[in-house]
Structure 1
Amino acid sequence: MKFRLCHLLLLFTFSASLHAVFGLNNEGVALLSLLRRWTSVPYSLRSGWNTSDSTPCNWVGIECDSKNNVVSFNLSSYAISGQLGPEIGHLRELEIIDLSSNDFSGNLPEALGNCSALKCLDLSCNRFTGQIPDNFKHLQFLSALVLNNNSLEGEIPESLFQIPGLQVVLLHFNYFNGSIPSNVCDMGEVELLWLSGNRLSGTIPESIGNCSKLQALLLFDNNLVGVLPESLNNLKNLIYLDLQNNSLTGSIPLNFRNCKDLKLLSLSYNNFSGEIPPELGNCKSLESLLLHTNQLEGRIPAELGLPEQLSRLNLSKNRLSGKIPPELGKCRSLEILNLWKNQLEGRIPDELGMLSNLRYLKLSSNNLSGEIPYIIL
């Protein structure tokens, strides 16, 4: 009994002295525990976390609310290396975590799922490995999930897309495999979906058309197959659509009636066939049309001369035939025109000589004839 009492007194004395040394609330102690897991920390950060403070609210990278709860944890680009420990889960009122552009490694801690008030989680440009913890589904206020440029793997959890207000999903340049979750747009709030540079396979789900607010769909450099879902026509707010370097097939089924804001359409390095939709001329804001290295055939639509902002047009390495439409001379913003390696014939239109901004023109490996028009430089 005496030994046990002494042990309790010793424990109490140690706890009291620990509190005296740190003089911190629980959130400050949690942050210091995180710090101990980091193998490289700049002096400006280490010296700025003063253990004699009662709260961490004046520390480098920390912001608090009126109740001294830590609500923002931003140490982006501090050259920190080490691991992100489970102590992060003690910061229950966090709304923003931005540890991007550092050298963190190891798995994403499941304890992040305890930060139930989180709105933005940015761990991009690090060396995190492993899978996305399934309990991220508990982050019901999350609007931005930014995990790009890491070494994450496994399948993208369907549970992520059960978060009601999720707007930005950046998972590009990792090692994710499997299919794009079929419920990707069930909540309909996603505005930016960037899954490029992974190992995703399967088809683009028809449910993608439920993303009525989607502005950017970037799926390039994956292993996607199959045809484009016609539901893409529902994406009236789309600005950027980049699906290049996959194994997609079939025709381009987009009617482009609702493409007033579309600036980039890139379907290159696939196996698309059929004709180029003339409705692309309705895309008045179009700046880049990249359809090269496919199996497209038929004529180049004259309607491609309608978008006044078009600066890049690459239709090379297809099976296009007929004449080069003189209407392309109306694209006064055109800087790059590449029609190389098709089956085009006839004269080069004099109207191309009016393209005063043109700096790259490639028409070789066709059946063109006649004189080369004078091009204004």
Structure 2
Amino acid sequence: LYRRSWKRLTTLIQGRRQSLEDLRSLIEARIRELSSTSLRRVINATGVVINTNLGRSPLAEEVAEFIKEVAMGYSNLEYDLYEGRRGSRLSHLEGLLKDLTGAEAVHVVNNNAGAVYLVLNSLACGKEVVVSRGELVEIGGSFRIPDIMRASGARLVEVGTTNRTRLSDYEKAIGPDTALLMKVHRSNFYMEGFVEEVQPEDLLSSGLPVYYDMGSGSLLNLKELGIKTEEPSFSECIKKGIHIVSGSGDKLLGGPQAGIILGKKEHVEKVRKNPMSRALRIDKLTLAGLEMTLRLYMRGEYTKIPTLRMLLSSPEELRKKAIALARRLRKLRRLKVAVLKDFSRCGGGALPELLLETYCVAVRHQVLSTPELEKRLRGSEPPVVARLKEDMLLLDVRTLQERDFPDIVRAFERMEE
């Protein structure tokens, strides 16, 4: 938008024929762009809870306040206040993660892609890693498991077929150069039908280290909370004896972006000592956000975490929220508004098979087409990102907060002017 408006404004100044109104609107747009930040708050009305393009998991209010406190002054990031000497930044997280998961050892880096690279480079550089062909995934941003393995120095050994891999496939592939057996969470797709796969704990019989890239990473048993999924938690994997696991901090965990590595001390220590650990370490703001998020789990206050609160919202709660928003929008004369049932997605490469029953406010405009309506909402301040379905604009209230409602109403009111 910045480049387009500047180019058009330059064209006008060079003397091409345009109306004065066009010139005025372009100058105003240019001024707004120069006076506002590029990264800004967006209202997520898509219903995709962990929306990768919109910043993944929003943080709890208490977490954001703690980050602000740490950011605005000095901190004991790498200083032991008790001993009065240099300390470790990971000391702020180690105890919490060990208590929450039962892991022997912990390491944290800036994202899970970095965690995968570090584990492979530390435990299997120059050696073989056995992976099912059905788990050689590509996630957003063209991140491919074979590529990261090649970059780490490990040699990929594919076993099984796309839809069926057995324990015997892994056993046949093990040789003198095999360093690791790896399981990869499929993240953004799932398979059903004529399928067979091996669980990470089944690989322990090989006697080789087993690494499970969990992708999303959850601290809770989501099934016990009523979410229909077989997704394991960190603690379940550790309890089953998996040697080393990794997952994201900003997906199902609901914190800031981070790569969390947990497991047996002998394996995690090798990862921690890798020279690349420093290059991938987390900064103080990420650390502050992750620590406070973990403390909410420790206190049993996980419903304060927006991601979990949204995922656990009941249909009745959402229906009431949709009715409240629809009531406000019906006051605008050019809008046709209805409340209807639909389905939300978890998003972020987590729980791809899960459809969450939700309620949406469906909007049509008497003058503007639905695509134009959607475009104008994106151009409002703050921007409102919704979804389109059957010539309707849908505002999925699962990912909306009550504080968003006045801004949404104002965005539609401006279209009435």
TM-score in terms of structure 1 length: 0.25
Bigger-Rg structure (1/2): 1
Structure with the bigger percentage of strand? 1
Structure with the larger RCO, 1 or 2 (CA within 8 Å, 6+ apart)? 2
TM-score in terms of structure 2 length: 0.23
